[in-house]
Structure 1
């Protein structure tokens, strides 16, 4: 399964949608996770423009005001969704990888800024994963920098990275 995860910092422009479509086609993506859509409504046609064809299913977490928003799009011949959980900070998709019938939990995250909120989110995600009997894939924007050398122009937070 080829996956692509992007923080797009707003999905309103046609140029950005065309860029994502180009990446999907170039890399033969069959699972797309887009964070920070900044959209409270996404139409089937919006998704078709991103995806490049009509062979898709999707789930969204709508933006709150002009902040957040997560869109997950996939090829139903590759991933079969059984059910999902949607929050302001994540979309969890429970299903299976069609080619080998392996149970798969896919979690797309757009983490909050505050340490306390992140801790709460990770506790919840950890609980979802620990109660799942199958493989897990977690992707997205964790709003954290893992290494001090990657943090330029601001203070590195070792506790958050851990």
Structure 2
């Protein structure tokens, strides 16, 4: 489950996330743009309820960003972790499948040059693991003009993003009930 929440400071939003976790029981939860500055067990338990027990957070930078990755440690065992201010990359084993995978939670910067550096960082990190990668993200860019609504579409950014997706063999899975991914 992945969601750009645009701020997780209100109790109502936390309750909505916890209810969705309770209903859908994801193995992994990616939250982008939490806008939280600190994380502790109380934050994680308020979000994950009785289903997602473990978590890791990256603090927001000023009034933007912030990431939360949470998982059920009965279903996923962490073996390694890499973070920066734009992503959390966690490698481990899906217990029931006996399969090693990498989960990557991304909130990309709005500045094109910083986005490209982030993509390079993700690619380098993935090559060091050399196992399947699942990305939950807000890349702050689009794959095509149809995904941009109400503003200009930067063709160079679209081309760069498509190149990144092709290099990594990323499959874009459609969102449920929304037109944006």
Residue matched to 2:68? 71
Residues 76 and 93 of structure 2 are in contact (CA less than 8 Å); yes or no, is this contact kept in structure 1?
Answer: yes
- Structure 1 residue runs of 4 or more that deviate by more than 4 Å after TM superposition: none
Give the alignment partner of residue 10 of structure 1, picking from 7, 12, 21: 7
3-state SS of paired residue (1:99): helix
- 2:48 equivalent to 1:51: yes
Residues 60 and 86 of structure 1 are in contact (CA less than 8 Å); yes or no, is this contact kept in structure 2?
Answer: no
CA RMSD of aligned residues (A): 1.3
3-state SS of paired residue (2:44): helix
Q: TM-score, normalised by structure 1?
A: 0.92
Tell me how far 1:55 sits from its aligned partner. 5.2
Is there any run of 5+ residues in structure 2 with no aligned partner, and where? Answer: 163-181
Residues 101 and 132 of structure 2 are in contact (CA less than 8 Å); yes or no, is this contact kept in structure 1?
Answer: yes
Give the alignment partner of residue 42 of structure 1, picking from 39, 42, 46: 39
Which of the two has greater helix per residue? 2
Which of the two has greater strand per residue? 1
Residues 102 and 134 of structure 1 are in contact (CA less than 8 Å); yes or no, is this contact kept in structure 2?
Answer: no
Residues 21 and 51 of structure 2 are in contact (CA less than 8 Å); yes or no, is this contact kept in structure 1?
Answer: no
1:50-72 C-alpha deviation (Å, 9 max, x unpaired): 11127511111111222211000
Q: TM-score, normalised by structure 2?
A: 0.83
